[in-house]
Amino acid sequence: MKNTHNAKRQRVKLITIGTMTLLASLSANAQSLSEQQQLELEANQKIAEFSQALKGQLQAAIKQGGLPAGVSVCQSVAPSIAAQNSTDGWMLKRTSLKVRNSNNSPDAWELAQLNQFEQIKAASDPQTPIVIREYVAKGETTTFRYMKAIPTQELCLGCHGSNITPELSTLIKQAYPDDKAINFEVGDIRGAFSLQKVMGSQLHTTNGKP
């Protein structure tokens, strides 16, 4: 009888330990999800601030001095706006499969995501924002990386389309000798916002599209 009671207590103990382990796991997953949602919120806020600032200055420059003035703004102002939004541990940049400024060339991770963007675009609703997020581990460091596709809009075509005036084309070539960012059409993926933030030693991996 004593052995039976001991066995029952052991089973209860094991069940209790198992339940506590499960609850701890669920709690950790909930915390991770909450953290990721917060990171995505921060990333999108920085993208919105960058976009609003650049678009405002670009429109004002074009209104005053035409597309050549717009090229000047992109060359001189866009990097400083990106730097202003690279705060609170975040780094923000724009990149593309066809960059205008070679300083914005994609790294290996970004290149893989940009190629995946094209596959996602071909298979999904063109109105749906294309986003990829991932925790990337390197050594003892884990970095949260976030990319959001930039669709080509009508405003972009004057400098990035297929009918750029010869005068403007010459100006662009002078500013960007290695320019590849032409022949886009409305709705094409012009490139992407790319953000990253070092998190520490946590290991999580998620990627996909909302």
Q: Which two tokens stand for residue 57?
A: 């200055």
Cα separation, 93 vs 166, in Å, equals 29
- Backbone phi and psi for residue 47, each to the nearest 5 degrees, phi listed first: -60, -45
Reference 146, options 91, 204, 86; nearest CA is 91
206 lies in some domain: no
Q: At what angle do helices 2-76 and 166-175 cross, to 10 degrees?
A: 120
42 lies in some domain: yes
Predicted pLDDT of residue 27: 45
Predicted pLDDT of residue 37: 92
| Band of pLDDT at residue 155, cut at 50, 70 and 90 | confident
Query: How much is the mean pLDDT over the chain?
Result: 83
8 A C-beta contact, residue 172 and residue 164: yes
Please state the separation of Cα 136 from the chain's center in Å.
13
Predicted pLDDT of residue 186: 94
Predicted pLDDT of residue 128: 83
DSSP 8-state symbol, 182: -
Cα separation, 62 vs 74, in Å, equals 11
SS3 content of the chain, % helix, strand, coil (to 5): 55, 20, 25
* β pairing state of 131-138 and 90-95: unpaired
7 lies in some domain: no
140 lies in some domain: yes
72 lies in some domain: yes
134 lies in some domain: yes
Q: What's the whole-number mean pLDDT along residues 71-75?
A: 88
1 lies in some domain: no
Structural domain for 123, as ranges: 12-200
Question: What are the pLDDT digits (tens) for 75-134?
Answer: 889 999 999 999 999 999 999 999 999 999 999 999 999 999 999 998 887 778 899 999
Cα separation, 176 vs 104, in Å, equals 12
Domain count within the chain: 1
- Is the pLDDT score of 179 beyond 90? yes
205 lies in some domain: no
Task: Assign 190 to helix, strand or coil.
Answer: strand
Question: What are the pLDDT digits (tens) for 27-65?
Answer: 444 455 578 999 999 999 999 999 999 999 999 999 999
Instruction: For the chain, give the percent of residues with pLDDT over 90.
Output: 65
Q: Which two tokens stand for residue 7?
A: 């066995």
